[in-house]
Amino acid sequence: QKKCLGKMGEVASEGRTVLFVSHNMAAVRALCSKGMVLGNGRIEYVGDIDATIYRYVQKIKIMKGVELIDRKDRKGSKWLTFSKISIFDKFDNEIKQVTSGQDIRIRFYYKSSKWVKSASVNIAFNVRNEIGYIITNLNSFDSGDAVQEIGNDGFFQCEWEKFNLKSGSYDCNLFCSVNGDIVDWIQSAFSIHVEDGDYYNSGRIIGKEQGDILVPHRWSSHV
């Protein structure tokens, strides 16, 4: 992807026209001078890139106002579809806002027309900051948790210990495949709202001035 973006930037600087389609607003802003917002195959807006990104972000906010079960802009075979996403603390209390350093559990509730035992499930969500830059991707393949059982309804759970993002609202896409079949794929499926906390148990609240991510680390002196 890095090579591809570099080549497109090079070609564009030579005066040739490049059509770049992406949900990554940081890459769009870096590469493009004009933009176009599409919806259901139709052009909704054309203008300079900053105005286009603003329109796109507003469109995402409207989409998130629709209950997940009612979203029509999903892709996949849809015999399994996600109906709700909820976040819980380590005591199983549902929470609307996460504090940096908190242990959380994200539950992805689904409905399925099939019952599948020992399925190879890749459930994934990426986390994007306020300008659309992908910070991380969490998925069951990379964590070694791909073998899952699927019922007619239930939920997959992702445990994120010592939540390490700083304050802000993070946009998340959601993807799921079962035995290689993409069953549900939703852009901007949910948000994670975060407040700064005492991540290092040092009595200090760490702000966003130095970036989005908190990293566990220690310092020592050796003489």
- Per-residue pLDDT band for 13 (boundaries 50, 70, 90) equals confident
- Residues 103-124 have a mean pLDDT of 97
Q: What is the pTM of this model?
A: 0.77
Q: Which of 1-15, 108-122, 135-149, 157-171 has the lowest mean pLDDT?
A: 1-15
* Distant-in-sequence, close-in-space partners of 129: CB < 8 Å, separation ≥ 6: 135, 168, 170, 171, 212
In a 3-state reduction of DSSP, which class is residue 161? coil
Closest CA to 103 of 118, 92, 119: 92
Query: Looking at residue 134, what is its pLDDT?
Result: 87
Counting residues of the chain whose pLDDT is more than 90, the rounded percentage is 60
- Residues 114-143 have a mean pLDDT of 92
Query: Looking at residue 183, what is its pLDDT?
Result: 98
Closest CA to 176 of 148, 208, 213, 212: 148
- Per-residue pLDDT band for 84 (boundaries 50, 70, 90) equals very high
- The neighbour count for residue 7, using CB atoms within 10 Å, is 11
Distance of CA 27 to the CA centre of its chain: 16
Residues 23-37: pLDDT tens digits? 777 778 878 889 998
Residues 171-188: pLDDT tens digits? 999 999 999 999 999 999
- Asked if residue 151 has pLDDT above 70, the reply is yes
Q: Which stretches of the chain are assigned E, i.e. beta strand?
A: 34-39, 42-48, 80-89, 94-95, 98-99, 104-112, 116-128, 134-139, 147-150, 153-160, 168-178, 181-195
Query: Looking at residue 22, what is its pLDDT?
Result: 79
- Asked if residue 1 has pLDDT above 70, the reply is no
| Alpha helices per DSSP H over the chain | 2-13, 25-31, 49-64
- Residues 154-161 have a mean pLDDT of 97
In a 3-state reduction of DSSP, which class is residue 86? strand
Mean pLDDT, rounded, of the chain: 89
- Residues 1-20 have a mean pLDDT of 76
Query: Looking at residue 124, what is its pLDDT?
Result: 98
